[in-house]
Amino acid sequence: MKIPFLDLKAEYLHLKPEIEEAVRQVLESGFYILGQEVVQFEREFAEYLGVRHVTGVASGTDALLLALRAYDIGLGDEVITVSHTAVATVAAIEQSGAQPILVDVEPGTCTMDPAKVEEAFSARTRAIVPVHIYGHPADMDPILDIARRRQLVVIEDCAQAHGATYKGRIVGTMGDAAAFSFYPTKNLGAIGDGGCVATDDDYISEHVRMLRQYGWRKRYVSEESGFNSRLDELQAAILRVKLRHLEAGNTARRRVAKTYGQILGDLPLMLPEERLECRHVYHLFVIQAERRDDLQAYMAQHEIATARHYPLPVHQQPAYGHLRHGPGSLAVTEALARSVLSLPIYPLLPDDHIQQVAATVASFYSQPG
């Protein structure tokens, strides 16, 4: 493709001197697991978020799993989340032993519909996991209200929304805890896997720290059954570099999105919605188009890469047949799977590529029929 969906190498080259110096320092230190780079990154990301504690773990999936386990959520419990998400959200809930209860999303923001959360509550419900999808915050106030009334834990899935805000509050600071992913494609991405749990709760933070390394509080003494889920020194060092550039990157993403919006605004498709008093950070720029498959084929013919996030809802995937709902029970989610198309977006996307992507979408709609 002449225009790739994402160019991770471009980001590396842009930050090459800083990244290579950070890697060199780690290699020369001779200390590669849970050292000072992890400690410093945890402190710096906690300061960025405005929370008391950040604990680095091996992936975003593990972050959600360990957060659930830290709250002793597991077998016999139910956790309400959405089907319109990366499968990792549901996989982590199942790995905890809990039962995922999937609810529908709002058509504009594609985030959890709070009204559906209330309907899904049962005596076994222990937690809600709202997903800040595509870089846009879920509607947290009504979700938190339900949680307070029902005495539920709220764990935010922030894997796609580093730096997004909701009514002046940064995502990851509104629930009881939050799970972040540092997968390379994320707004704050490592060069490999990584994740973290953020919380203001001292007990939960300590519990996650124990769980990430075999249940140890004291080395070689497992106080409970734990995991091997550690953010390594190299990734932490790289993340420290990239954290310094996160806000600039998010600003650049918003600029790309604004340009797309200006050119595509009058076309017969739905553009990403930004709720009032929210800050979208556009991890993805996802349009909704009735002729999605034809449009995607047309873009490919013009050597422009696009993607579908997501082509199959979790509840319709073979591995999760036991979670399957009746036809139309997640109507918005199922409609999104037929209509969503992600256009190229990343901070270093060249201006001429932005214009060409938008112009190609526009030209598709100018064709007869």
Taking only the tens of pLDDT, the chain with its 369 residues reads: 899 999 999 999 999 999 999 999 999 999 999 999 999 999 999 999 999 999 999 999 999 999 999 999 999 999 999 999 999 999 999 999 999 999 999 999 999 999 999 999 999 999 999 999 999 999 999 999 999 999 999 999 999 999 999 999 999 999 999 999 999 999 999 999 999 999 999 999 999 999 999 999 999 999 999 999 999 999 999 999 999 999 999 999 999 999 999 999 999 999 999 999 999 999 999 999 999 999 999 999 999 999 999 999 999 999 998 886 656 689 999 999 999 999 999 999 999 999 999 999 999 999 886
Q: Do the Cβ atoms of 110 and 104 come closer than 8 Å?
A: no
Q: Which domains does the chain have, with CATH numbers?
A: 8-103+114-243 (3.40.640.10), 246-366 (3.90.1150.10)
The CB density around residue 369, as the number of other CB atoms within 10 Å, is 2
Q: Which two tokens stand for residue 228?
A: 């091997």
Q: Do the Cβ atoms of 320 and 314 come closer than 8 Å?
A: yes
Q: What angle do CA 255, 179, 318 make, to 5 degrees?
A: 95
Q: Write out the DSSP string of 225-278.
A: ---B---BHHHHHHHHHHHTTHHHHHHHHHHHHHHHHHHHTTSSSBPPP--TTE
Distance (Å, whole) CA 15 – CA 285: 24
Backbone φ and ψ of 324, nearest 5°: -60, 140
Q: What is the pLDDT of residue 355?
A: 98
Q: Of 260, 355, 256, 252, which Cα lies nearest the Cα of 14?
A: 252
Q: What is the pLDDT of residue 322?
A: 85
Q: What is the pLDDT of residue 369?
A: 65
Provide the CB-side half-sphere exposure for 306 (13 A, CA). Answer: 29
Task: For residue 362, give the 3-state DSSP assignment.
Answer: helix
Tokens 């991405």 appear where?
Answer: 189
Q: What is the pLDDT of residue 329?
A: 85
